[in-house]
A and B are shown apart, each in its own frame.
Chain A
Amino acid sequence: MKYQTQKIAYAYFAVAMALFAVQVTMGLVLGYIYVQPNFLAEILPFNIGRMLHTNSLVVWLLTGFFGAAYFLIPEESEREIHSPKLAYLQLAILVIGTAGVVVTYLFNLFEGNFLLGKEGREFLEQPRWVKVGIVVAALIFLYNVTMTVLKGKKTAISNILLIGLWGLALLFLFAFYNPSNLALDKQYWWYVIHLWVEGVWELIMASILAYLMLKLTGVDREVVEKWLYVIVATALFSGILGTGHHYYWIGTPGYWQWIGSIFSSLEVIPFFAMMAFAFVMVWKGRRDHPNKAALLWSLGCATLAFFGAGVWGFLHTLHGVNYYTHGTQITAAHGHLAFFGAYVCLNLAIFTYAMPILKGRDPYNQVLNMASFWLMSGGMVFMTFTLTFAGTVQTHMQRVVGEAFMDVQDQIAIFFWMRLGSGVAVVIGVFLFLYAIWVPGREVIEPGPTVRAAAE
C-alpha cells in the first residue's frame, strides 16, 4: 500500500461484504419461498424479501465501487485522498441509511409517511430521508475524490471512473421525480435503473477492470487507455438510446420499439470488447503477478458479463421476442447472470486484489478463493440455465398457449427446485469467499515454481 488513505477502502469493503452475505442469504430464502410459498408468509412476505435482496445488492455494489475508488484514486492521482474524515462520514451515512431501510421494510413502519415511509416504486422503494442521505453521501464522495484528482495526476482510468460516478449521482436525482401518470413514472424510473446499469456503471466497470489489468498484467498504460476509450464510447453509444428497450409496452410511442431494438442490440459490443480486452491483456502481459485469484475474478467478470449482460440481454431485447418473453423467468435469468458477471465479479475481483494489500499479507494461499470463484460462478451459471429453461417453457405455455399464470408456475416447479439447489451452491461459494478473504491470514507461502504451477 503506497498511500495511507487507501486504508479507507478497507472499511468500505468490509461493509460491502457483510451486505453481500445478507443479500445472498435473502436470495436463498426467496428461492425456498418459490417452491414452498407459505414459508415465512406472515413475517416476511415475498415482496419485502425481494426488496431486501435487490436493494442490498445495489447498496453493496455501490459501497464496493466507492471503496474501489478510494483504493485506486490515490495510486492513479499519486496523492492521498483529500479528506479521510469525510470518507468515513460518507460511509456512516450509507450504513445508517441501509439500516433504516431494512428496519422500515421488515416492520413496515411509517406507511404512507412523506419522509419516513417506503415509496413503493420497484428498486427505488427507499424512504425519502434515505434517498436524501444517499445524495448527501454521493456529494461528499464526489467532492472528496474530485478534489483529490484535481490536485493530483489525471489519468484516463481516474477520469472515466469520475465521469461514471458523477453520472451515477446525477441520474439518481430522477429517483425524486415521481409523476402520477404511470407511463411517465416508468419512463423516468428507467433513467435511474437503465442508465445506471447499462450506462454509467459500465464506465465504472471498464475503469476498474482497466486498473486491474494494468496492475495484474503489466501491459503499457497507453494500450490499456486506448481499449478503455473504445469500450466507453461503444457503451455510451449503445446504452443511452438502448433505454428504448424498456419503452416497448409502457405507453410510450411505437417508434421506441425500433430505437430500443437497434441500439440495445449493440449493447453486446462493449461487453464483448471488455472480454476481448481482458484476455488480450493477459496474453500480452509480461508480468507474472502472484495474485492469481484476482486475475481469475477479472477474467471471470469480463466473460460472465459478456454472457449475462450481452448474450442473455440480447436474447430478449428485440421487441418481437420481448412481446412474448416480457416479465417471464427469462428476465430473471438475465438479471442474475448480468449482475453477477458484470458487477458482483468486478467487486470480488477488486476485493481479492486489494484486501491482501490492505491487510499486509501478500502473497498468500488463494486456493480457497479460487475454489469459491468456481463454486459461485458454477452455481450462478446453473441457475441461469434453469431459469432460462423455466422461462422458455413459461413463455410457451403462458404466452403462446394461453394457460393461466399460476397453472404454469405449478408445472415449472422442477426448475425452481433446481434453482434453489444452485442457490445453495452460490451461498456456500460466497461464505467460502468471505472465509478466504478474512480468516487464513497466517497461511503466508513463499512464491515459488510449485506455487505458480498450482495457481495456474
Chain B
Amino acid sequence: MSETVETPHPLEQLPGDLMMWVLIVSELLVFGAGLAAFLAVRIGDPAGFAAAQDHLHRAAAGLNTVVLVTSGLLAALAVRAREADKRLRTRCLLAGASVLGLVFLVIKGMEYADKAAAGIGVETHPFFTFYYLLTGFHAAHVLAGVIILGLVGWKDSPRSVEVGAAFWHMVDLVWVLLFPVIYLLR
C-alpha cells in the first residue's frame, strides 16, 4: 500500500481519498488475519467448532447479508446520483443505506441477546471468542459506517460521497467474507 506512493499517478486515479484506501487495506488485513487465525484454530478442534456453530442463527445472518448487500447497492446508486448532480436523490439513497445498516445492527443485536440468554459468552469456546471478536468488530464498523454515511450526506460533495461509499463497500465486503466462514463452513 504505502510503498507504492513513489509512483503517484495510479494512486491519483483512485476514487475518493488515498487515506480511505489506506484504511480499507488496513481493515482487510485485520479481518483477513482474524479469519486466518479462526481457520487455523479450527483445524485443532473441527468437531467442537461444528457443534458451537450449530448455536448460530444461519437464517438471521443470511437475512442480514441481503440487508447489507442491498444497502451497498443504495450507496453505489447514491454515488451515481451525486455524479448526475441529483442531490436530493443522493441524500435519500444514503438515508436508505443508513437505515438498512441500522436494520443490520438490530438483527445482529437480537442474535447477541439470544446468545447471552443461552449463557454463551466470549470465553465459552474458542469458536465464540472469534465469533464475538470478528462479528463484534464488524458491527462496530457498521455503526461507524452509518455515521460516515450521515456525514457525507450532510456535506455531500461528490468526492465525500465517493469516500463514504468506499468505506461502506469495505464493511459490506468484510461481511460477505465473515458470513460463509463463520456461519456456513462445515
**Which of A's residues lie within 8 Å of B, judged by CB?**
223, 226-227, 229-231, 233-234, 237-238, 253-255, 258-259, 261-263, 265-266, 269, 272-273, 276, 280, 284
**Cβ contacts under 8 Å, A261 to chain B:** 37
In chain B between 1 and 35, which residues have their CB closer than 8 angstroms to a CB of chain A? Answer: 1-3, 5-6, 8, 18-19, 22-23, 26, 29-30, 33-34
Assess whether B129 is in contact with A254, with CB atoms less than 8 Å apart: yes
Hey, which chain B residues are within 8 Å of A272, CB to CB?
2-3
Q: What is the count of residue pairs linking A and B with beta-carbon distances less than 8 angstroms?
A: 62
B130:A258 contact, CB within 8 angstroms = yes
- Find B5's partner among A226, A233, A259 (CB 8 Å cutoff): A226
Contact B34 A258 (CB under 8 A): yes
Please pick, from A238, A259, A262, A273, the residue contacting B2 in the complex, using a CB distance under 8 A. Answer: A273
Q: How far is the CB of B9 from chain A (nearest CB, A)?
A: 13
Given A230-B5, A269-B2, answer yes or no on A262-B129 (Cβ-Cβ < 8 Å): no
Partner of A258, one of B18, B19, B133: B133
The CA-CA distance from A238 to B29 in the complex, in Å, is: 11
For residue B184, CB closer than 8 A to chain A, the reply is no
* A229 contacts across to B, CB distance below 8 A: 19
Interchain CA distance A229-B129 in the complex, whole Å: 34
**Residue contact B34 to A262, C-beta cutoff 8 Å:** yes
For this complex, 14 residue pairs linking A to B, each with C-beta atoms less than 8 Å apart, are A223-B8, A226-B8, A227-B2, A229-B19, A230-B19, A233-B26, A234-B26, A237-B26, A254-B123, A258-B37, A259-B133, A261-B37, A262-B37, A266-B29
- The closest CB in chain B to the CB of A273 belongs to B2
Q: Once bound together, how far apart are the Cα atoms of A230 and B23, in whole Å?
A: 9
Contacts of B130 in A (CB 8 A): 258
Contact B6 A255, beta carbon cutoff 8 Å: no
Which of A230, A255, A258, A276 has a CB less than 8 Å from the CB of B22?
A: A230
A residues less than 8 Å from B132 (CB atoms): 255
State whether B23 touches A280 (Cβ < 8 A).
Answer: no
A227–B37 Cα distance when bound, in Å, is 31
> Which of B19, B122, B123, B133 lies in contact with A233, CB distance below 8 A?
B19
Residue of B nearest to A281 (CB): B6
Question: Which of B33, B123, B132 counts the most chain A CB atoms within 10 A?
Answer: B33
Interfacial chain B residues near A227, Cβ < 8 Å: 2, 5
Given that A234-B26, A266-B30 are known contacts, is A276 also in contact with B3, CB under 8 Å in the complex? Answer: yes
The docked-state distance in angstroms from the alpha carbon of A234 to that of B37 is 21
Q: Are B133 and A231 in touch, CB under 8 angstroms? A: no
Tell me the nearest residue of chain A to B38, going by C-beta: A258
Collect the chain B residues with CB atoms within 8 Å of residue A233's CB. Answer: 19, 22-23, 26
What is the chain A residue whose CB lies nearest that of B123? A254
Query: With A and B bound together, what is the CA distance between A266 and B1 in angstroms?
Result: 13
Of the candidates A230, A231, A266, A273, the one having the most CB atoms from chain B within 10 angstroms of its own CB is A230
**B2→A253 contact, CB < 8 A:** no
Instruction: Tell me the smallest distance from the CB of B120 to a CB of chain A, in Å.
Output: 14
Residues in chain A near residue B3, CB distance under 8 A? 272-273, 276
Interface string of B117-144 (1 = CB under 8 A from A): 0000011000001101100000000000
Q: Residue of A at shortest CB range from B29?
A: A266
B33-78 residues with Cβ-Cβ distance < 8 A to A are 33-34, 37
CA distance A223 to B2 in the complex (A): 12
With a cutoff of 8 Å between Cβ atoms, the chain A residues found around residue B37 in the complex are 258, 261-262
Nearest B residue (CB) for A269:
B2
- The docked-state distance in angstroms from the alpha carbon of A284 to that of B6 is 9
Q: Could you tell me if A255 and B30 are in contact, using CB atoms closer than 8 angstroms?
A: no
In the complex, which residues of chain A have a beta carbon less than 8 angstroms from the beta carbon of B2? 227, 230-231, 234, 269, 272-273, 276
